A = this chain, B = another copy of it.
Amino acid sequence: MEAVDAVPVHLNGKVAIEDIDLMVVEAENGNKQNGREIVLGRNVHTTCLEVTEPEADDESTGDKEAYMASVLARYRKNLMERTQHHLGYPYNLDFDYGALGQLQHFSINNLGDPFIESNYGVHSRQFEVGVLDWFARLWEIEKSEYWGYITNCGTEGNLHGILVGREVFPDGILYASRDSHYSVFKAARMYRMGCVKVDCLVSGEIDCADFKVKLLANKDKPAIINVNIGTTVKGAVDDLDLVIQTLEESGFSQDRFYIHCDGALFGLMMPFVKQAPKVTFQKPIGSVSVSGHKFMGCPMPCGVQITRMKHINVLSSNVEYLASRDATIMGSRNGHAPIFLWYTLNRKGYKGFQKEVQKCLRNAYYLRDRLRDAGISAMLNELSSTVVFERPLDEDFVRRWQLACQGNIAHVVVMPNVTIEKLDDFLNDLVERRSTWYQDEKARPPCIAADIGSQNCSCGLHK
């Protein structure tokens, strides 16, 4: 997305709404990226499953029941095939929650605050708080000093973290690298915050030299920073220590910045990699979020959001109807998700995760090396299991393997369910088809040095 470096217009010491208008303009122009039209997917209206009114005699004939059973059976088969051929998104599709099937009959709702029992009794707060405590230990913050909740997805974690930041610093400016998840820029627009996009290094990490320049240009306003613990496309980990150092060098003391760590996928992998820099509340960060359906695996999207208790008191207001307080983004909250996470954490534990992380990193190296051996441009960031490579020419191939693409690059995220056998299948399929895409001289594999660095590019010029 073409960025507008929205250096705020000052107006009686307040951030004026002009800043936000810039964001709107940007979004409206967002159909083109670097001059390239985005090809959106097919419209679903043609394939949708219509709801039909039951016939009067349905109960006796059983026709409707039979029709629905056949739809579901076909759908299930399709899900199995699609689960088998999935490589592009960071979801661990390998889980077994059979023991929890018995709970599907209940309407479990953790409405309101996780730590305050509400009058609605069909909840799972005891599981939710158990899970939150586990993450608080992982990220080194005392039980009495943190607040958090199980969210509906990574986006909700980012929306919450950035909202907390804005409430702590109402006139703060949001800084985020260009490779940050789109929900970060959505938050800026929703919350009417001034937002400054920071450049990235080729790896996808935030460029702290550029960050410093932009901080210095806005020294009179507090800084709210989104730090990526694994970017969406390249799996790059922003250097948290360098970000903090840059803030300090630019004259921002700890009472003038708020850091939200978007740990979508790697927030849960990094703690298990020995040499990785630590995400911890021992450092001056305000919040961390991580997705639950990514590395851990869960039937539905969910996430974990942890922040400091002292910040949440700024945000929350009491809602008597719930006999609770309102500090979450959503009101009613899925009570099944915490039980899935509790179950996985108990079964696997730290050691189980460590083993899985090591397997993923090993398999990611394997994929990168085999791509390179086949003469295909590829990059794998340290601490990451996201292998970035040349975008396949054929959109059917992209869809078959459910690859995520951006510009000339695609990626595979190696999750615990991605085995060497699956990678071999994929590689063989890719190498075979690719030979047909580039068989005559007219078409050449694209140069992607600008995306992944010339040392990783195998195009005609760089190989």
Interface set of A (CB-CB < 8 Å, partner B): 1, 11-12, 14-17, 20-21, 24, 27-28, 30-31, 33, 38-45, 47-54, 64, 68-69, 72, 75-76, 79, 82-83, 85-86, 88-89, 91-93, 95-109, 111, 114-122, 124-131, 133-134, 143, 152-156, 159, 163, 167, 170-171, 181-183, 186, 190-192, 232-233, 291, 293, 297-301, 316-326, 329-337, 342-343, 345-352, 398-399, 402-407
- Given contacts A121-B399, A331-B183, A333-B153, A76 and B103 within 8 Å (CB-CB): yes
Tell me, in angstroms, the Cα distance from A404 to B119 when the chains sit together.
7
CB <8 Å contact, B330 and A405: no
List residues of chain B with CB within 8 A of the CB of A331.
153-155, 181-183
CB <8 Å contact, B127 and A49: yes
- Given contacts A69-B99, A76-B103, A133-B48, A301 and B119 within 8 Å (CB-CB): no
Tell me, in angstroms, the Cα distance from A407 to B15 when the chains sit together.
39
Tell me, in angstroms, the Cα distance from A174 to B300 when the chains sit together.
34
List residues of chain B with CB within 8 A of the CB of A127.
48-49
List residues of chain B with CB within 8 A of the CB of A318.
30-31, 33, 38, 40
List residues of chain B with CB within 8 A of the CB of A133.
48, 50-51
List residues of chain B with CB within 8 A of the CB of A47.
126
14 A-B pairs with CB atoms under 8 Å apart are A28-B317, A33-B320, A41-B118, A48-B125, A48-B128, A52-B349, A72-B100, A75-B103, A79-B106, A91-B120, A152-B334, A153-B330, A182-B319, A182-B321
List residues of chain B with CB within 8 A of the CB of A107.
83, 91-93, 95, 293, 297-300
List residues of chain B with CB within 8 A of the CB of A326.
182, 186
CB <8 Å contact, A42 and B116: yes
Tell me, in angstroms, the Cα distance from A85 to B130 when the chains sit together.
26
- Given contacts A30-B317, A49-B342, A182-B326, A44 and B190 within 8 Å (CB-CB): no
Q: Return A65 CB to nearest CB of chain B, in Å.
A: 8
List residues of chain B with CB within 8 A of the CB of A345.
51
CB <8 Å contact, B52 and A330: no
CB <8 Å contact, A153 and B72: no
List residues of chain B with CB within 8 A of the CB of A12.
11
- Given contacts A49-B127, A49-B130, A299 and B104 within 8 Å (CB-CB): yes
CB <8 Å contact, B342 and A51: yes
Q: Return A96 CB to nearest CB of chain B, in Å.
A: 8
CB <8 Å contact, B51 and A121: no
List residues of chain B with CB within 8 A of the CB of A330.
152-153, 155-156, 301
A410, closest chain B residue (CB): B119
Q: Return A271 CB to nearest CB of chain B, in Å.
A: 14
The 5 closest A-B CB pairs, nearest first, are A82-B121, A301-B332, A41-B117, A48-B129, A155-B331
CB <8 Å contact, B40 and A300: no
CB <8 Å contact, A321 and B404: yes
List residues of chain B with CB within 8 A of the CB of A16.
14
List residues of chain B with CB within 8 A of the CB of A102.
72, 76
Contact of A101 among B31, B45, B101, B129 (CB under 8 A): B101
Contact of A293 among B14, B109, B125, B405 (CB under 8 A): B109
CB <8 Å contact, B122 and A93: yes
CB <8 Å contact, B130 and A50: yes
Contact of A129 among B21, B31, B44, B192 (CB under 8 A): B44
- Given contacts A51-B133, A117-B44, A334 and B301 within 8 Å (CB-CB): yes
Q: Return A367 CB to nearest CB of chain B, in Å.
A: 18
Tell me, in angstroms, the Cα distance from A130 to B49 when the chains sit together.
5
CB <8 Å contact, A106 and B120: no
Contact of A325 among B40, B154, B323 (CB under 8 A): B40
List residues of chain B with CB within 8 A of the CB of A69.
99
CB <8 Å contact, B121 and A85: yes
List residues of chain B with CB within 8 A of the CB of A14.
16-17
